[in-house]
Structure 1
Amino acid sequence: MKRLERWHMYFSVHQLKAKGLKISQIARNLNISRNTVYKYLSMNPDQFKQFMEDLETRAKKLDPYEQQILQWLREYPDLSAAQILDWLKERHADFKIGASTVRSYVRELRIRHGIPKTVQQRQYEAVADPPMGEQMQVDFGEVKIKNLQGNPVKLWFITFVLSHSRHKFVHWQDRPFVTKDVIDAHELAFVYYGGMTREIVYDQDHLLLASENYGDLILTHEFASYVRQRGFHVRMCRKQDPESKGRVENVVKYVKQNFARHRMFVSVDKLNEECLSWLDRTGNALVHHTTKKIPAEVFAIEKQHLRPVLEKIKSPKMSITRTVRKDNTIWYEGNRYSVPLGTYDGTAKEVGVQACETRLRIYDLNTGEYLAEHERSFLKGQLIQNTNHRRDRTKGIRAYLESVTRQFSDTQLAAAYLEAICQRQPRYIRDQLQLIQKTLQEASLTVVNQALRYCMTHRLYRATDFADAMRYFSNTIVDDAPATSDEVKPLQGTDPAKWKAKPQIRDVQVYQRILRGG
C-alpha cells in the first residue's frame, strides 16, 4: 500500500469510529483486519507519521541478498522472480522466505535501479490471403456444456475455414474423434462448401500424421488412402507453431466463446443443427475483423473457384482396435468392457470396437463376428460386464451340493439345510460341505437324522455346528443304550445255592451309633 493510501485509510478509520461504528464494522467497511483498526485508533497523527517513516526505512528480509539479486538482474534482465526464488533456495539451504515477498522485492529493485524485464517476442510478418479456392485450414476443439440436468458434458468439434473468404464450417461429436470421424467430417465440409480447396492445412495430430520424418510426411494408413482418393495437398504445421494456422485457431476460440458458452446440450444432432444456424446467422454473416468483409458474401464468389467433388467416397470401417486382456476384457476410455470367456488366447489378440452415442460393440477383426455389446459408460474405472460373459462358478458347487444331499436319508430336509448354509457361507461352501461329508462317514443314520433335525430346529447353519451335534448324539446313544443279553456274562464255577443268599439288613440306628462313635 502506498503512503497516500495509508494516510487515507488512517483518517477513514478515525472517521468511522467517530460515527459510532464498532471495530468489526469498521474492518468490514474498509476490508482490513481488526488488528489494523486497533493499531490505527491507538495512534495520533504524529505517531502515525513516525510509523510511516519507520515502514519506509525498516530493514527487509531480502536486504542481505540485495547485491546478489541485483547482479543476477543486471546479467539476465529477463530473469523471473520465481527463478530468483529457486536460485536463492539452491544457494542458501536455510532460505525460508515466501514467493510473494520475493516478487515484491524484485519488482521494487527493478524500479529503483531501472532494470526493466526484457521479454523476447517472436516477430510476425503479415501474410497475404491465398487465392480463392487455394487453401482451407482445419483444427479440433473440445468444450464442456451443461445438459438439461445441469451436469457438464464433454463435447468435441472439428472446424474448417477457407483461408481467403474466412467462411467457416463446424461439426460436433459427443466422443473423441477417430480417423473415420475426421474423414466423415471432411465429406460433410465438402458438401457444405460445394467443393474443396487444393491445399488443406492441419496440425500434427496423431489421427492424421504417423511421423513428420524430417519433412517427408508419413500419414496414417486410413488418412493417406483418403488423401490419395480426393487428391488434395496436405500441409502440416511445425510442432509448437500454432500461429502458422492462425485463421482456424481464431475460429476455434470464436466457436467456444460465441457459440458454445452457456449453451444447453440436448443431443449431438440438435447441437449440429443449432451450430449451422449460428454459422448462417453470426459466424459467416458478420463483418470479419481482419478482412472487413462478410465471409458469406466473399464465399459466394470463392465457391466458383473450388474443385468439384463429384463422387462420394465410402468411409472406411471403424479403425478402433483394442487388445484383449487376460481377464477377457478390453480397455476403452478408461473403463473395462467384457468379452466372452475364451476370447483371450494367450497372445496379443486385437478386436475391433464400434462406438456410438450410447452403445459399444466389439467384433472379431478376422471374421467380423460381433463378440459383445455394452452400454457405454462415461465414468472412469468402471467394469462393464455382461452376465453371460461371467464364469458360472456354481456348476461344480451345485453338483457337490446334490452329492452330499443324497447321503442323508431325509434328502428334502437335508437339501433345505445345505441350501441355508450355502446362502450364509457362499465363499466357504466347499469347505463346509467337505466337513459335513467327512462327519457323515463316521456316524450312523440315526445319529445323522437326529443331528440334522436338531440343527434345523435351532437354526445352526454351520458345518461345525452340525459336527458338534453329531458328536453329542453319538455319545448320548452309547451312554443310554440298555445292556443286551450278549453283553451279560453268566457266572461260572459258583455254587448255585449261593445265588439264593441274601445280605444282612441292619437297622439304621446301628449306623447312627457308629457315626456318633458308639
Structure 2
Amino acid sequence: MEKWLLYSEIHRLKRKGFSINKISKKVGISRNTVYKYLEMDPMEVAEWMAATKVRSKKLDPYRDKILNWLKENPDMSSAQVEDWLKEHYGKGMQIVGEATVRRFVKELREQYHIPKVTIPRSYEAIPDPPMGKQIQVDFGEIKVKDMNNQERHLRFISFVLSNSRYKYVEWLDRPFTTRDVLRCHENAFQMFGGMPEEIVYDQDCLISRDENAGDLILTVEFQGYVKERGFRIHLCRKSDPESKGRIENVVGYVKKNFAKHRVFTNLEKWNEQCLRWLERTGNNNVHNTTKKRPVEVFALEKPHLRPISSTINFSSVDTASITRSVRKDNTVRFLSNRYSVPLGTYKHRRDNTVYLEIKNDQLRIRQSPDGQVLASHKIDNHKGQLIQDRQHTRDRAKGISTYMETISKRFNNAEIALEYLEKVRSNYPRYIRDQLQVISKAINKNDQIANQALEYCLSQKLYSANDFFDIVDYLIREGGIMHESSESQDQIKPANPIDEAVLRAKPEVRKMDVYMNVLKGGAVG
C-alpha cells in the first residue's frame, strides 16, 4: 500500500475506534509502525515520502552496470543479476539480500521501460491418434486432511486414452513401487476392456533408468512386463511436461476437481470415491477440447483396443521392488532421502544393486528380490534427510575395547595390562586411540622391556602413554635396568671451584636462651 494511502487508512480506522492491535492486523504492518504513522501530521508524511524517493540505495554504485545488463539481456532475472554482481565485484560489493536486488531490478525496469522478455514456446496442434492406439500415463501427489485434521500425503497414477479422453485413476497412501505400477496397469486394462498399441510415459525412475541418446534403458522389472504384454512405449523428455499435454491436464483435473478439500478416511474408500467421481464427472462431463463426453467416445474406441489375456501372475514377471545402487557411504537414495545399510554393504568396483520393498510405511532393503533384508526403515515424508539405523554405524566404543584387548595380549600378563589401559582410558577418554597407538609403538621397540615398563608405570601410577613410551626408551638405553637414585647422584656439582673447607664449614647455632633474652629486651651475648 502506498505510504499516503496507508497513512489515511490508519487515521480513518483510529477515528472509528479500532485499537492499535486491530489496525496492525487489518493493514498488515507492525504496531510500532502504526504508532509512527499516528504520531505524524500530513506535512511530516509528505516530507518523509519526498526523502525516501531521493535517498541512496546500496546498489546505486552498480546502477549503470545493472542497467546495461538489463538492456542487453531483457529476459535476465534478478537472481542472475545478483550472481553476476558477486562474480564481478566479489567481496567489494556491499552485502545485499535477494529482496533488495529484486526491488532494485524492478525499479530499473519500470523507470527505463525494460519489460522482462519471455521467449514463448511455439505450439502446434497435433491430431488425436487413431482410436485404440495410445494411452498416456503419469503420476501425481497431493496433501489432504484426514478426519483428525492431520495432513496425509497421497499419490496417484492416472491413465487417459488419447482419442476418447476416457480416464482411470488409482491412489496409494505411500510411494509407488514398480510392482504397484504394474498392478495398476492391469487394473486399467481391465477397466478399459483392452490395451492400446502404445503407452506414453514420463521418465519416472520406476519405469526407466536412463536414456542414452534416445535409446531407452528400462528397469528390469518394467522390461519384463512390456515384453509379456507386448505394447510399445514412448518416454517424454525430462522436464518437458508440455509434450504430454493430455495426461498433464488429467493430473491437474484430478487434484483440483476431485481431491482438493476432500477429507480422507481410508484408502479403500478414497479409491471408491474416485471411481464414482470418474463415472459422475471425470468421464461424463463434456471435454473442453473435443466438445464430447469421454464416456460416449469411449464406447466407439473400446472395440479398437487390443484384447488382453487373463490378469498376469506377477510371479512370472521379474517384478522385484525398486532397484537402487548402494552409495560409497553405505546409504541408498529413495524419494530424496538417504537410508542407511550396514557398514561394508558397499563393495568397490562390484555390483552394489539392492532391492527396495514398501510395506505400509516401512522401507525394506534387500540384497536380492527375495533375499535377506539388509535394512528396514520407516519412510520419512520430508526431503534431504539421512535416516540412519544406529546398528549400521561404526561402534567406536566397541572398536576401542577390541583395540585395548589386542594390545593387552601383547604383554605377559594380559589381565594386568588391560587394567593399566583402562586407567589410561579413564585419564584420556577423548584421545584413547592416540594413547593406544603410542603404547603399541613402544611395544614394537622391545616387547620384553615393555613388560618391565608396565610394572614400573603401575608402581609409580604413571597412567599415560607418553610416560610409558619414555620409560621404555630409558630402559632400552640403560640395558633394561631401572636405576635407583643414590646420595652421590643427588649431589650437585658447583659451576665454579670452591674451597672444600668452605663447603664443610657449619654455621654457629645459638642456644634457645639467647633468643628468649633478646625477646625480653636483653642484649645478644
TM-score, normalised to structure 2's length?
0.60
In the alignment, is residue 74 of structure 1 matched against residue 71 of structure 2? yes
Instruction: Letter of the 1:112 partner, please give it.
Output: Q
Q: Which residue of 2 aligns with 1:501?
A: none
- Cα shift at 1:129: 1.3
Q: How many residues align?
A: 376
SS of aligned partner of 1:161: strand
CA distance in 2, matches of 1:244, 1:232: 20
Partner of 2:260: 261
Q: Deviations over 1:123-146 (max 9, x none)?
A: 111212112111110112233344
Between 227-236 and 84-93, the greater mean CA deviation after superposition? 84-93
1:152-176 Cα shifts (integer Å, max 9, x gaps): 3433321110011111111223433
Per-residue deviation, residues 208-235 of structure 1 (Å, max 9, x unmatched): 2243232233333332332233222211
Alignment check: 8 A CA contact 1:136 1:201 kept: yes
Per the alignment, residue 446 of structure 2 pairs with: none
**Corresponding residue number in structure 2 for 1:496:** none
**What displacement does 1:151 show?**
3.7
> Is 1:101 paired with 2:100?
yes
Instruction: Mark the runs of 5 or more structure 1 residues left unpaired by the alignment.
Output: 386-427, 432-518
Equivalent position SS for 1:117: coil
Alpha-carbon displacement from aligned partner over 1:255-303 (angstroms, at most 9, x marks no partner): 2222223434444333322221221122111122222221111111111
Choose 132-141 or 311-320, whichever is displaced more: 311-320
**Retained in 2: the 8 A contact 1:81–1:102?**
yes
Work out the percentage of aligned pairs sharing the same amino acid.
49
Q: Tell me if structure 1 keeps the 8 A contact 2:339–2:377.
A: no
> How far apart, in 2, do the equivalents of 1:299 and 1:63 lie?
64
Q: Distance in 1 between matches of 2:232 and 2:277?
A: 30
Is the CA contact (8 Å cut-off) linking 1:88 and 1:95 kept in structure 2? no
One-letter amino acid of the counterpart of residue 202, structure 2: D
Deviation of 1:19 (Å): 6.9
Give the superposition deviation at 1:112.
Answer: 2.1
The CA distance in 1 between the partners of 2:323 and 2:183, in whole Å, is 22
- The answer to whether the aligner puts 1:136 opposite 2:135 as a matched pair is yes
Superposition deviation, residue 181 in structure 1: 2.5
Q: CA separation in 1, counterparts of 2:325 and 2:238?
A: 34
1:221 is aligned to: 220
Structure 1 pair 252/59, CA: closer, same or farther in 2 (3 Å)? same
Distance (whole Å) between structure 2 residues aligned to residue 349 and residue 148 of structure 1: 43
Q: Which moved further from structure 2: 91-100 or 245-254?
A: 91-100
Is the counterpart of residue 284 in structure 1 residue 287 in structure 2?
no
Deviations along 1:232-254, one digit per CA (max 9) or x if unpaired, are 22111122222111111121222
Give yes or no for contact 2:75–2:118 (8 Å, CA) kept in 1: yes
Whole-angstrom CA distance in 1 between matches of 2:75 and 2:331? 50
Q: 1:215 to 1:62 in 2, by over 3 A?
A: closer
C-alpha distance in 1 between matches for 2:367 and 2:55: 78
- Residue 381 in structure 1 maps to residue 380 in structure 2: no
- Aligned twin of 1:115: 114
Q: Do 1:180 and 1:317's aligned partners in 2 also have CA atoms closer than 8 Å?
A: no
Matches of 2:331 and 2:25 in 1, distance apart? 58
SS of the residue 1:217 aligns to = strand
Which residue identity lines up with residue 75 of structure 1 in the other structure?
E
- Where structure 2 has 5 or more consecutive residues not aligned to the other structure, the ranges are 381-385, 392-418, 423-525
Does the CA contact (< 8 Å) of 1:200 and 1:234 recur in 2?
yes
Measured on the aligned residues, the alpha-carbon RMSD in Å equals 4.2
CA–CA separation in structure 1 for the residues paired with 2:143 and 2:302: 34
State the TM-score, normalized to the length of structure 1: 0.61
Greater Cα offset, 240-249 or 152-161: 152-161
Decide whether aligned partners of structure 1 residues 272 and 382 sit closer, same or farther in structure 2, where only a CA change above 3 A counts: farther
Aligned to 2:125: 126
Relative distance call for 1:381 and 1:88 in structure 2 (3 A) is closer
Question: Does the CA-based 8 Å contact 1:337-1:384 persist in structure 2?
Answer: no
Mapped partners of 1:362, 1:43: distance in 2:
67
Map residues 346-357 of structure 1 onto 2, 5 A cutoff: 355-357=358-360
Match of 1:390 in 2: none
Q: Report which stretch shifted further, 114-123 or 137-146.
A: 137-146
Deviations 1:9-58 (A, max 9, x none): 44455556667877667656655556655655565545544444444344
Query: Quick one: distance in 1 between partners of 2:222 and 2:295?
Result: 30
**2:232 is equivalent to residue 233 of structure 1:** yes
Residue in 2 that maps onto 1:152: 151
Aligned to 1:320: 321
Give the stretch that moved more between structures: 227-236 or 208-217: 208-217
Q: Within 1, Cα distance between the matches of 2:388 and 2:52?
A: 60
Q: 1:40 to 1:227 in 2, by over 3 A?
A: closer
Change (3 A) 1:114 1:177: same
Residues 135, 22 of structure 1: CA spacing in aligned structure 2 closer, same or farther, 3 A cutoff? closer
SS of match in other structure, 1:200: strand
2-structure distance, mates of 1:60, 1:365: 63
- Go from structure 1 to structure 2 and tell me whether the alpha carbon gap of 1:179 and 1:114 turns closer, same or farther (over 3 Å shift): same
